[in-house]
Amino acid sequence: MAETENRPTNFIRQIIDKDLASGLHQQVKTRFPPEPNGYLHIGHAKSICLNFGIAEDYQGTCNLRFDDTNPAKEDISFVNSIKQDVHWLGFEWSGEARYSSNYFDRLHGFAIELIEKGLAYVDFSTHDEMRELRGTLTEPGTNSPYRDTDVETNLQAFAKMAKGEYQEGQCSLRAKIDMSSPFMCMRDPVIYRVKFAHHHQTKDKWCIYPMYDFTHCISDAIEGITHSLCTLEFQDNRRLYDWVIDNITIDARPRQYEFSRLNLEYTVLSKRRLIQLVDEGHVSGWDDPRMPTIAGLRRRGYTPGAVKEFCKRIGVTKMDNLVEMGMLEACIRDDLNANAPRAMAVLEPVKIIIENVSDDHTETLQAPNHPNDESMGKREITFSREVWIEAEDFREEANKKFKRLVLGKEVRLRNAYVIKAERVEKDDAGNVTAIYCTYDADTLGKDPADGRKVKGVIHWVDAKTAIPAQFRLYDRLFEVPNPAAEENFVDAINNDSLVTKQGYVERSLATASVEDGNWQFERTGYFCCDKDSSDEQRVFNQTVGLRDTWAKIENK
């Protein structure tokens, strides 16, 4: 067993410790079983970190198994994206990726075994009839008229199902359990249905497909999974999980354990709702940086380390709660503050013209890539007669609290000189189009010689070497903490969740790419290069701001 000194603990790990100590299991075997019918989201990341993390800590194994029992909604592109997400988070599954469809032949055999034992029957009731007979939470169900069909007739009917002799919805195979059970999942659940759909793994071999609750437990048993971990909505289904394993001929006895799913503020994690956001065009796609998908987080600039740290901080419990978005943002902010190199960018540019610098002057300066980490080295920036600064960093008049550039006063250009605003030029609408300044040539890396105190520092970009850039400023996708509770969740979408600005970055980012990771644009926030970048224009996504501005809003 791995060292336990820094290992997190929770009720699942305590169960595992007990099982290993008692000799019930010699090695831990977990699995991550996504459906390949969509993209993984931050909630899946919690499950990934739990299952793979346990396998790593206990020197066990973790399988990646695709629950591919509904080919009508599945696609190989989802399979590939899920593999990419697991790898991106830094995990490796045991052996080859597995598929529930690998076991379709054996599952079919187990279904026949249940029929032969009188524990399954072919039901020709319609969907509506089945629902009517199922009962309610307070009233027991009623037996199907097909429930007592003899074994031989059921075997013949199931064989016809497999040969494609019945239409979709015409019949299904149901487990014969207890129509009066207080647990709805035990009221003769459907375990096989007819579905004429091409499967991305088995092609057109099958026209009947097993249901998840029948497939999952058997797949766990076939693979020798010791601890089958799932979220709390499957708690009642554990009874069906155990019933199937107890009534087929198989040696392994996996156990299911449930933990609370992740609910995150200002977003939705329901696959149905995420699909609606994409299909209705509320976002640009599954990897839109506002989406809580792992693909979206990756495109926004979140790091694997930040996501794993978030999963560690929220822990594993049996209690549902709504996790603050600020906790996720704090994880990436802490990561990038320590690890992201610095650069300068101007998002809303206004031009500075330094009148005592000649038109042909260009000077190369040195700037640290990180103020607290000398090992990151330095980069070259240029300084010339014209530079860009943020429009909000200049005022013609301001009180003493404003520490930036004011007409008639001085401020320092970061990593460069002290400048003084002398006069402005405006357009017909009264907007400032240029600020004419002078600079003190003897202030590079030091205070003015006569003892003048210059407290303000602003960022800038040399206009002569600046690289045009688009900046995509992302905010929370919804205006309310729990959009899923709204009558129509799309009505709660934040219309300002994406704001685009045109500006400039320093020349060191001329060849910036997605693979380069993140930068802190000084005094602005953390950004990463987007895949939409081109030779004509770099595109940068804001990962997170320098500080949590929502905390102030929420505390008002």
pLDDT tens digits along 398-428: 998 999 999 999 999 999 999 999 999 999 9
* pLDDT tens digits along 215-259: 999 999 999 999 999 999 999 999 999 999 999 999 999 999 999
Coil vs helix vs strand at 271: helix
Cβ neighbours of 77 (radius 10 Å): 12
Mean pLDDT of 539-556: 78
Q: How far is the C-alpha of 146 from the C-alpha of 303, rounded, in Å?
A: 55
Token readout for 268 is: 């939705």
Beta bridge partners of 469: 503, 538
Question: Ramachandran region of residue 319, left (φ > 0), alpha (ψ -120 to 50) or beta?
Answer: beta
Q: What number of other Cβ atoms are within 10 A of residue 290's Cβ?
A: 24
Strands 342-343 and 362-368: unpaired
Rounded to the nearest 5°, which phi and psi values hold at 153? Answer: -65, -40
Is there a catalytic annotation at residue 271?
yes
Q: Are residues 189 and 177 in contact, defined by beta-carbon separation less than 8 angstroms? A: yes
pLDDT at 7 over 80: no
Q: Using the CB atoms, write b or e for 506-540: b if 16+ within 10 Å.
A: bbbbeebeeeeebbbbbebbbbbbbeebeeeebbb
For residue 368, the one-letter residue type is P
Query: Residue 552 pLDDT > 70, yes or no?
Result: no
Q: What is the mean pLDDT of residues 310-330?
A: 95
**pLDDT category of residue 96 using cuts at 50, 70 and 90:** very high
Domains annotated for the chain, with CATH where assigned, are 11-259 (3.40.50.620), 271-341+469-554 (2.40.240.10), 345-459 (2.40.240.10)
The residues near 32 (Cβ < 8 Å, ≥ 6 apart) are 47, 48, 51, 52, 62, 63, 64, 65, 86, 93
Residue 3 has pLDDT above 90, yes or no: no
The single-letter DSSP state of residue 163 is: T
At 220, list the tokens: 């766990």
Q: Is 129 in the active site?
A: no
Nearest Cα neighbor of 221 from 256, 253, 247, 257 is: 253
- As a whole number of angstroms, the distance between CA 419 and CA 421 comes to 7
CA distance readout (Å), 333 to 162, 215, 219, 303, 328: 55, 41, 40, 10, 9
Mean pLDDT confidence for 40-55:
97
Q: Which tokens hold the place of 476?
A: 């929370």
Which residues have C-beta within 8 Å of that of residue 338, sequence separation ≥ 6?
373
Residue whose C-alpha is closest to residue 365's, from 416, 434, 425, 299: 416
Average pLDDT over residues 426-439: 96
Q: How far apart are CA 349 and CA 145, in angstroms?
A: 76
Is 35 designated active site? yes
Decide: residue 311, CB within 10 A, 0-12 exposed, 13-18 middle, 19+ buried: buried
Model pTM?
0.93
- 413, containing H or E segment: strand 410-413
Residue-wise pLDDT tens digits, 285-318:
999 999 999 999 999 999 999 999 999 999 999 9
Per-residue pLDDT band for 449 (boundaries 50, 70, 90) equals confident
| Mean pLDDT in residue range 24-35 | 97
Angle of helix 212-223 versus helix 104-116 axis, rounded to 10: 110
Q: Which two tokens stand for residue 106?
A: 């054996």
3-state secondary structure (DSSP) of residue 282: coil
Instruction: Specify the pLDDT at position 320.
Output: 86
Q: How many residues does the chain have?
A: 556
Question: Could you tell me the two tokens for 342?
Answer: 């610095």
Determine contact, residues 405/419, Cβ cutoff 8 Å. Answer: yes
Checking if the pLDDT of 450 tops 60, the result is yes
Q: Which of 106, 239, 261, 464 is catalytic?
A: 261
Q: How far is CA 94 from the centre of its chain?
A: 23
Q: Given this model, what pLDDT does residue 1 score?
A: 43
Query: Looking at residue 341, what DSSP letter applies?
Result: P
Residue 461 — pLDDT band, cuts 50, 70, 90? very high
**What is the pLDDT at residue 8?**
73
The closest of 343, 364, 380, 281 to 504, measured between CA atoms, is: 343
Report pLDDT digits (tens) over 162-217. Answer: 999 999 999 999 999 999 999 999 999 999 999 999 999 999 999 999 999 999 99
AA letter at 503: G
**Residue 305: how many CA atoms within 13 Å on its side-chain side?**
10
Per-residue pLDDT at 548: 81
Catalytic residue among 271, 409, 501, 523: 271
Q: Which three-class secondary structure state does DSSP give residue 145? A: coil
What is the C-alpha separation between 297 and 41, in angstroms, rounded? 9
Tokens 């207890």 -> residue: 178
Beta partners for residue 506, in sequence order: none
pLDDT at 59 over 80: yes
The answer, yes or no, to whether residue 120 has pLDDT greater than 70, is yes
Give the CA distances from residue 499 to residues 125, 127, 174, 496, in Å, rounded to whole numbers and listed in that order. Answer: 54, 47, 53, 6
For the chain, the average pLDDT equals 95
**Six token digits for residue 149:** 């069909």
Q: In which element (H, E) is residue 208 found?
A: strand 208-210
Inter-helix orientation angle 11-22/42-57, to 10°:
30
Contacts of 406 (CB under 8 A, 6+ apart): 394, 395, 396, 397, 398, 421
Of the listed 35, 113, 348, 363, which one is catalytic? 35
551 — pLDDT class (breaks 50, 70, 90): low
